[in-house]
């Protein structure tokens, strides 16, 4: 990747991600009335092969949402299968979940978390990013050739709901062309 992050830029981006991921956790916590803990945001440059490997977590449901604007990319949500019924109950879904209802739950969770993460991130950097509707997908059926980018900047955080076994990971991937836009905004914040 031509546009590498320096330590100062990485620290600034990590702080911005912390704030936007905190907003996402707060949105979900208010909805389900439960405490949510967050991991420290992990920021890395990944190739398509590394990205596919990162998604191959057993025991997870996967959704994806592309976004367009002054930055472009994709938000991928990984949601644990183990605590799915617990989060469904907190969100007042009828149990046991049918396949259709489970998919509806996954899409709703993705929209809440990905929407809050991306909008908080974009707002802080004065960027535009319009998020599409999420879709459920199986990463096992994708090859690295499927992705539009040669390399990408990945920003990842994990959400855990205390009182249940449910956890979710949100990964925001920026296309290579959008990384220079991000670097310019970060640099102007750091001046």
Q: Which helix (H) or strand (E) holds 173?
A: strand 167-174
Q: Which domains does the chain have, with CATH numbers?
A: 7-190 (3.40.1550.10)
Tell me what pLDDT residue 147 has: 62
Question: Could you tell me the CA-to-CA distances from 25 to 4, 20, 141 in Å, in that order?
Answer: 29, 9, 30
Tell me what pLDDT residue 2 has: 44
Tell me what pLDDT residue 146 has: 65
Residue 181 half-sphere exposure toward CB, CA atoms < 13 A = 16
Distance of CA 4 to the CA centre of its chain: 21
List residues bridging with 68 in a β-sheet.
130
Q: Which two tokens stand for residue 182?
A: 């991000």
Residue located via tokens 């830029």: 9
The tens-digit pLDDT sequence of the chain (191 residues) is 445 788 898 899 899 888 988 888 888 888 888 888 988 888 888 877 787 777 777 789 999 999 999 999 889 899 988 888 888 988 899 999 999 999 999 999 999 888 888 888 899 999 999 999 999 988 877 666 666 555 677 888 888 887 788 888 888 888 878 888 998 999 998 88
Find out whether 86 and 168 touch, Cβ atoms under 8 Å: no
- Is 122 strand, coil or helix? helix
Tell me what pLDDT residue 150 has: 53
Question: Is the peptide bond preceding residue 96 cis, with omega within 30 degrees of 0?
Answer: yes
């Amino acid at each position: 990747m031509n546009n590498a992050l320096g330590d100062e830029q990485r620290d600034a981006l990590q702080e911005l991600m912390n704030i936007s991921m905190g907003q996402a956790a707060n949105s979900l916590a208010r909805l389900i009335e439960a405490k949510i803990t967050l991991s420290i945001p992990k920021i890395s440059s990944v190739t398509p092969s590394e990205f596919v490997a990162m998604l191959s977590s057993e025991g997870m449901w996967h959704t994806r949402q592309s976004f367009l604007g002054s930055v472009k990319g994709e938000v991928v949500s990984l949601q644990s299968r183990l605590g799915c019924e617990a989060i469904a109950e907190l969100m007042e879904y009828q149990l046991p979940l049918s396949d259709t209802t489970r998919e509806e739950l996954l899409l709703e969770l993705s929209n809440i978390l990905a929407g809050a993460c991306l909008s908080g991130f974009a707002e802080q950097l004065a960027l535009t990013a319009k998020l599409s509707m999420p879709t459920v997908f199986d990463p096992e059926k994708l090859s690295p050739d499927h992705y539009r980018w040669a390399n990408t900047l990945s920003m990842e955080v994990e959400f855990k709901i205390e009182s249940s076994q449910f956890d979710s990971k949100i990964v925001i991937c920026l296309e290579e062309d959008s990384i220079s836009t991000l670097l310019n905004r970060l640099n102007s914040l750091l001046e």
